Amino acid sequence: MGKLFRGVTSDDCERCPARHIDLLAGTDRTEQELLRRSFDIATFEHKEMLYRSGDAGDWLYLVRFGLVKLIRYSTSGAERIVRLARAGDTIGLSSLARTPYRRTAIAMTRTEVCRVATEFVRRYNLTHPESMEDLLGKFQAELEGADTFLVELSTGSAHVRMARLLLFLVERQEHTEAPLPNREEMGALLGITAETASRVTAEFRREGVISGIHMDRCACDVEALRRIATG
């Protein structure tokens, strides 16, 4: 059991989508070495779980590439995706508050993550209190994300929500191509049923708003989506 993690090379760090963060930069050569030895890298395939709600929160994860869904369950048992994490996003921050993970994290596409022990970050902050602002900024970004999901993806008609989701999925991509979740996941993301999600995507495809043969990827007409999203 347990995912296999490997060490971090300096080449890994060169390509790191979060290398601008002070916390990870290190001030001198020996410190950079210390930081590098404290991090691990692993790849998760589609549908693989990073951690489960209730697990001891011993690690922070930094997404290097891919897409991770963070799930929470309502009192009535229904599953709801409360956030999507992409390259450069940090997940598992709740562990810093010495609490178990409150959400379940599952890869939606092939995903590479870099992990670090929460205990290490905690100790590092005692000797580098000025790095706290980076952490708070990260937390802040996570709060922003939660708000965005709340306001953008759970209000308006199914068409409007779907358009906003697709816009979210194409941003930060070079091309207008977006990874397309399956209909069940779309439903959990937007608070609608899988059937409605299917109807809307089929309709978008007929109207030429999205196109592409494959089921799990599509090219988007960003302008058209923006028109629909503002309803």
Q: Is 71 in the site for DNA (CB under 7 A)?
A: no
- Compute how many other C-beta atoms are within 10 angstroms of the C-beta atom of residue 173: 12
139 by Cβ neighbours in 10 Å (0-12 / 13-18 / 19+) ranks as: middle
65 or 139, CB closer to a copy of itself?
A: 139
Smallest gap from residue 227 Cβ to a copy of itself (A): 11
For DNA, which residue of 95, 104, 109, 201 counts as binding (CB under 7 A)? 201
Q: Using CB distances below 5 to 8 A depending on partner kind, what does residue 91 bind out of DNA, a copy of itself, none?
A: none
Q: Say how far apart CA 134 and CA 93 lie, in whole Å.
A: 12
Q: Say how far apart CA 21 and CA 138 lie, in whole Å.
A: 10
Residue 201: its H or E element: helix 194-206
Q: What angle do CA 69, 201, 181 make, to 5 degrees?
A: 20
Q: Is 69 in the site for DNA (CB under 7 A)?
A: no
Smallest gap from residue 31 Cβ to DNA (A): 46
For DNA, which residue of 205, 223, 226, 227 counts as binding (CB under 7 A)? 205
- Assess contact for 179 and 190: CB atoms under 8 A: no
29 or 47, CB closer to DNA?
A: 47
DSSP single-letter state for residue 97:
G
For DNA, which residue of 102, 128, 196, 217 counts as binding (CB under 7 A)? 196
Q: Say how far apart CA 68 and CA 48 lie, in whole Å.
A: 10
Q: Is 202 in the site for DNA (CB under 7 A)?
A: yes
Smallest gap from residue 134 Cβ to DNA (A): 38
Part in contact with DNA (CB under 7 A); list of ranges 11-19, 23-31, 143-151, 152-160: 152-160
From 207, 195, 190, select the one nearest 153 (Cα to Cα).
Answer: 190
For DNA, which residue of 121, 183, 225, 229 counts as binding (CB under 7 A)? 183
From 219, 199, 217, select the one nearest 209 (Cα to Cα).
Answer: 219
Q: Say how far apart CA 219 and CA 179 lie, in whole Å.
A: 9
| Interacting residues toward a copy of itself by CB under 8 A | 72-76, 78, 80, 82, 93-94, 96-99, 102-103, 122, 125-126, 129-130, 132-133, 135-137, 139-140, 142-144, 146-147, 149-152, 154-156, 160, 164, 191, 229-231
For residue 228, give Cα distances in angstroms to 157, 176, 179.
Answer: 10, 17, 19
Binding mask 93-112 for DNA (x = CB under 7 A): --------------------
State the residues that interact with DNA by CB under 7 A.
Answer: 157-159, 182-184, 191-196, 198-199, 201-202, 205, 214-215
